[in-house]
Amino acid sequence: MAPSPRVTAQTACAALAAALAVAASAVPAQATTITDPLGDFLPTFTGPHNGDLDILTASAAINMASVTLSATLDGAIGTTPGAIYVFGINRGAGQPLLTLGAPPVGQGVNFDAVAVLNPAGGSVLNLLLPTAVGPTPLTNVSFSGSSLTAVIPFSLLPSNGFSTSQYLYNIWPRSGLGQNVQIADFAPDASSFRASVPEPAAWGLMLAGFGLAGATLRRRRRAAPA
């Protein structure tokens, strides 16, 4: 007895899911990770020198249509009441905007958007240049122990001249929003870092997975009764 169209469709869908799972597993999960010295609080910082305001590592990884930003601190997040964590993002029109504040800080840290991550809730994305847009709520943000992670769709981060693989990132913890004296640390100092992207070989394996799924569907169609 020939398989029913329903069974054929279910089998084809299962093959598609399996092929895509194989392809996705081939994409490296590694991210560009930078390290920051322990205890390097800014001399202008007037807040408490708590571990949750001292960045140890920061990372960024592109995964298809989004970027995953992460950081680890020297202490459990939540130690400092009101602390927030800001990722500066340079989409191509970045400027050292924090040098315009009092006192001027962040020379070399250029950005045209910021992701403000708040452990108390209400994390947002703000586009600053060429015109201000936002705040836009960020929903995929998590805090665990001394680590934080945010996944930001590139649909919320339109280019200002860079391709998404060229976007640059920096993170600074703050003891609160308001004045530059509340900025505790920059990672990296006086510069920014670029996200990692999947290797070309991994993208090739993903495309091969799609090809396998398509071939399976074509075979199923040919095998179906007229």
106/42 Cα distance (integer angstroms): 10
Taking the C-alpha atoms of residue 213 and residue 208, their distance in angstroms, rounded to an integer, is 9
Backbone angles phi, psi at 17, to 5 degrees: -60, -40
**Over the chain, what HEC string results?**
CCCCHHHHHHHHHHHHHHHHHHHHHCCCCCCEEEECCCCCCCCCCCCCCCHHHCEEEEEEEEECCEEEEEEEECCCCCCCCCCEEEEEEECCCCECHHHHCCCCCCCCCCECEEEEECCCCCCEEEECCCCCEEEEECCCEEEECCEEEEEEEHHHCCCCCCCHHHCEEEEEEECCCCCHHHECCCECCCCCEECECCCHHHHHHHHHHHHHHHHHHHHHHHHCCC
Q: What is the pLDDT along the chain (226 residues), one digit of tens a residue?
A: 555 544 454 554 444 444 444 444 444 445 789 999 999 999 999 999 999 999 999 999 999 899 999 999 999 999 999 999 999 999 999 999 999 999 999 999 999 999 999 999 999 999 999 999 999 999 999 999 999 999 999 999 999 999 999 999 999 999 999 899 999 999 999 999 999 987 554 445 444 544 554 555 455 555 555 4
Q: Hey, what domains does the chain have and what are their CATH numbers?
A: 1-28+198-226 (no CATH), 29-197 (2.60.40)
Structure pTM?
A: 0.77
Nearest 5°: phi and psi at 155? -65, -20
The pLDDT value given to residue 128: 98
